[in-house]
Structure 1
């Protein structure tokens, strides 16, 4: 029986960036080209459901190790509970001498490591990183940070991939309609967006899709007199998201921390101009003034000014949206990114099928 690549992360039907990434891997054919067995270590739901998913994944993984079926481990990791939940997978791989890839996604991993972990935990985290054969991060900024904490394992900056949708005629988009997708709350800049909208002479319609602080966001919008303009959609599924990306005219993500957000790349792939912040890997996707605008996180005045500029100049928004799609075609489309993952697999002993 040939050995397999065990890939571990959140379930395919789970909310969040990791599930979006691994679904692109699957849909772009990576699972057909390599003998990948996917283990979902996390799922949405209550504590019992989450514990059941983790224990089930551990049991299946251990059985494969004991029967010598695992040739490579590829784990998608974020911060806090995600990191600790994946730790047993790495420790078992080290015990059974299985090469491992740690694929770091956590937008707040710097905060987790530097502010929330003491010296012993930081030493343990470094040991996990250094016990692997390869570390994958989402941007050059993250590569520099990981190397700066004393990680000596080779670190590769490999962008998140997106599937390129069919091009949308700009005239079919709703004029002045804003779109935000993500977990509502301070980290994603949701309240800053509401404050910026309140500064505009005439607030446009803003569609906010995602879970998180939905009630607080709705209350805040009403307090700012924007109860009619700010529409909360809840978590949107793939079909609804595709429709929103094809119909809105400006994508807004004023985050304080990011890895490389899939929603932003998906908006660019759909041909939308982006208004975001220069955090995480975003500056490697969006050049200020080319594919959109970047403003400092928390600068509500600048956010409002750039919104007003894009709303008042549809031709500029259209040009930026076209530039965003071209950037994805050359740099972030699955055909440009997945060969980098496949190269790692080949270096670690797995030729392409």
Structure 2
């Protein structure tokens, strides 16, 4: 059994979203348990978010070529557009592997696996794959790539029972899956602009933190707030998330502009921008809301809210109902609508004592979700992966780190 794994991480992300933050927490926990970590990150000049985040956690990295996937709709051009990048990437993997001598590979995105396809086929180093989302299977080429991921992976770690069930639907057996819920990501509050909040004791803050996109349901939250705004004049809605001039933020800019044009909302709905001092925001909030309209597997922000004793309202989609015990440490809406969300908001705004009680229960629920054992759970996975047969024969492992079972 390997007590101190040497882990080569395929970290091709260009920015910091939930997937990247979740994996940083996992590999940081492994490092704290004695593992040696080396991340392979993008060498592109425009990719300037990941390296500082890794450095802030004391994680080592090397910059290597990654083929640019471009638009997901044009992904067939990945290799055709950059064959030289693909060759250089696999040569870099071979060279770095000889020097670093990894005992494991850590992967979390099929495109990053594709980037090192040749090296991963030739080097049978045990690979652990962290699944933070459902598999991408919408056409035959993605399905073929996913079959390679399954063949090459020695063990899967999923961040919710929901993702585990999705994984089993593609042919992975339960013994090859371990559920480890996301640990609240550590953030550096000094990396963002100063956070100005209304600290008046009679103000009740409703908070959203995350990407400001249509699928994340931010517009539904604003509609719900509009429904209860007159009834609770002391309520404020704070929305934290990036709104830039990038074309991908056009929908967010439109939403912000529509709120600014609404006399009822412009003084009560605050767009905070992209912030890192999330802990302070949650500590001042009456309730947190994650109104995702898609099957959100396991949002990091729910765990961050729990850590600050703030209850969460979620929609009944994906893995979110696994994280919130309805009426105990938060609320699960019966449907993904503004009316259903307004009903839950009305309860928390009208019952501050209940919100405080549920916030304390939310903090205690981190123990039920086995977050204090997060690092040990990850280390156990890597120890078992080292004992598995690299030829592809699987082994039995702990099925889950939280009940109920998959």
Which one of 84, 108, 113 corresponds to residue 86 of structure 1? 113
Q: Judging changes above 3 Å, is the alpha-carbon distance between structure 1 residues 71 and 6 closer, same or farther for their aligned structure 2 residues?
A: same
Q: Which has the higher contact order (CA 8 A, sep 6+)?
A: 2
Which one of 87, 104, 124 corresponds to residue 72 of structure 1? 104
Deviation at 1:146, TM superposition (A): 0.8
Which one of 255, 273, 277 corresponds to residue 292 of structure 2? 255
Is residue 230 from structure 1 mapped to residue 247 from structure 2 by the alignment? no
- Distance in 1 between residues matched to 2:375 and 2:309, nearest whole Å: 21
Deviation at 1:221, TM superposition (A): 2.0
Instruction: Give 2:193's aligned residue.
Output: none
- Distance in 2 between residues matched to 1:92 and 1:315, nearest whole Å: 57
Is residue 202 from structure 1 mapped to residue 204 from structure 2 by the alignment? no
Deviation at 1:276, TM superposition (A): 0.9
SS in 2 for 1:205: strand
Which whole-Å deviations, capped at 9, do the CAs of 1:33-75 have from their partners, x for residues lacking one?
112212234989479x999763697664332234471221011
Is residue 314 from structure 1 mapped to residue 346 from structure 2 by the alignment? no
Is residue 182 from structure 1 mapped to residue 210 from structure 2 by the alignment? yes
Deviation at 1:275, TM superposition (A): 0.7
Instruction: Give 1:20's aligned residue.
Output: 21
SS in 1 for 2:293: coil
Which one of 63, 88, 95 corresponds to residue 122 of structure 2? 95
Contact 1:41 1:57 (8 Å CA) reproduced: no
SS in 1 for 2:346: helix
Contact 1:275 1:306 (8 Å CA) reproduced: yes
SS in 1 for 2:95: helix
- Distance in 2 between residues matched to 1:252 and 1:138, nearest whole Å: 20
Which whole-Å deviations, capped at 9, do the CAs of 1:227-264 have from their partners, x for residues lacking one?
11111111112xx2222122122101111231211111
Instruction: Give 2:245's aligned residue.
Output: none
Which whole-Å deviations, capped at 9, do the CAs of 1:74-127 have from their partners, x for residues lacking one?
1122xxxxx323322355223111111111113xx35x42xxx32343133123
- Distance in 1 between residues matched to 2:46 and 2:274, nearest whole Å: 14
Instruction: Give 1:159's aligned residue.
Output: 181
Structure 2 residue runs without a partner (length 5+): 52-62, 67-84, 188-198, 243-248, 388-406
Instruction: Give 2:309's aligned residue.
Output: 271
- Distance in 1 between residues matched to 2:279 and 2:162, nearest whole Å: 29
Greater helix share, structure number: 1
In the alignment of these two chains, the number of paired residues is 328
Is residue 119 from structure 1 mapped to residue 140 from structure 2 by the alignment? yes
Which one of 76, 85, 94 corresponds to residue 62 of structure 1? 94
* RMSD (Å), alpha carbons: 3.2
SS in 1 for 2:108: strand
Structure 1 residue runs without a partner (length 5+): 78-82, 166-170
SS in 1 for 2:178: strand
Is the deviation greater in 299-308 or in 94-103?
Answer: 94-103
- TM-score, normalised on structure 1? 0.82
- Distance in 2 between residues matched to 1:65 and 1:128, nearest whole Å: 20
Instruction: Give 1:80's aligned residue.
Output: none
Instruction: Give 1:38's aligned residue.
Output: 39
Q: Judging changes above 3 Å, is the alpha-carbon distance between structure 1 residues 262 and 63 closer, same or farther for their aligned structure 2 residues?
A: same
